[in-house]
Amino acid sequence: MRIRVINPNTSASMTATIEASAKAAAAPGTIIEAVTPTMGPASIEGHYDEALAVPGVLTEVARGVADGVDGFVLACFGDPGMDAARELAAGRPVIGIAQAAMHLAALAARGFAVVTTLSRTAGRAWDLARTYGFADRCREVLACEVPVLAVDSAEDMVADLAREALTHDGVEAIVLGCAGMAEMAARVSAKTGAPVIDGVGAGVGLVETMVRNGVRGSARGEYAAPLPKRYVGLLEPFTVS
């Protein structure tokens, strides 16, 4: 089984972190291929960044389909472009790491808190929790206010926020709200004594589960292939024929 893990931002160092976490969580025999888009922002720290990361993500999804991979993980906590990616993926699983982490947290605990980078991204986390059915289980979104590209050095702050969240009513698990935090899950879990969930590893497992169970997304209706049409300007390369 081959899973393509797409880092939606264009920073190769982040891709390396993501790749390591994905490989650590993969089942025997699963091939992890982590990729960096050739266009888009260096990091994703808001709606503008996220919106403009999507074209690069879509290019990588199209490439993955051409390469015959079995499924995709979108490794940014905003799950950027997931619906559009599914239109390209022809039924192959496409899982975002917020989606993956929240599903796993809901299996592990009655309620969870998200610990993320910047508070300006909390609104997106809440929107996703509601979309995925976890509005009740997501109890808090806390931010360490460290930029995405520096978050690998913020493990102590993340652990402190996790500890604080776990004292609140109904919070029994921690969801890490940034792909850049992926490698700290085990250590923060050890420090806090609670389940700590990284969406990259979670996403790999969920794609594996879907593939092994033969569960493809629908490729009809909403997620059918994009209709042929002309794109103009900078985006002309995206024309569908």
Question: Which residues inside 53-82 make contact with a second copy, applying CB under 8 A?
Answer: 54-56, 58, 81
Q: Is residue 241 near a second copy by the rule CB under 8 A? A: no
Q: Is residue 165 near a second copy by the rule CB under 8 A? A: no
Q: Is residue 131 near a second copy by the rule CB under 8 A? A: yes
Interactions with a second copy, residue window 75-114 (CB under 8 A) = 81, 83-84, 86-88, 93, 95, 99, 103-104, 106-110
Can you tell me which of 4, 5, 10, 72 binds a second copy, judged by CB under 8 A? 10
Contact 62, 84 (CB under 8 A): no
Return d(Cα 61, Cα 67) in angstroms, integer: 10
Can you tell me which of 19, 117, 137, 146 binds a second copy, judged by CB under 8 A? 137
Can you tell me which of 17, 43, 116, 117 binds a second copy, judged by CB under 8 A? 43
Can you tell me which of 5, 77, 79, 132 binds a second copy, judged by CB under 8 A? 132
Can you tell me which of 50, 70, 79, 183 binds a second copy, judged by CB under 8 A? 50
Return d(Cα 204, Cα 22) in angstroms, integer: 6
Question: CA 13, 58, 84, 103 torsion: positive or negative?
Answer: negative
Can you tell me which of 15, 34, 45, 162 binds a second copy, judged by CB under 8 A? 45
Amino acid, res. 140: E
Q: Token digits for 223?
A: 């997620």
Q: Is residue 12 near a second copy by the rule CB under 8 A? A: no
Contact 61, 89 (CB under 8 A): yes
* Shortest CB 103 distance to a second copy, Å: 6
* Shortest CB 185 distance to a second copy, Å: 7
DSSP state of 34: E
* Shortest CB 181 distance to a second copy, Å: 14
DSSP state of 227: P
Q: How many CA atoms lie within 13 A of 210 on its CB side?
A: 21
Return d(Cα 220, Cα 69) in angstroms, integer: 20
* Shortest CB 68 distance to a second copy, Å: 20
Angle at the Cα of 237 from the Cα atoms of 87 and 48, rounded to 5 degrees: 70
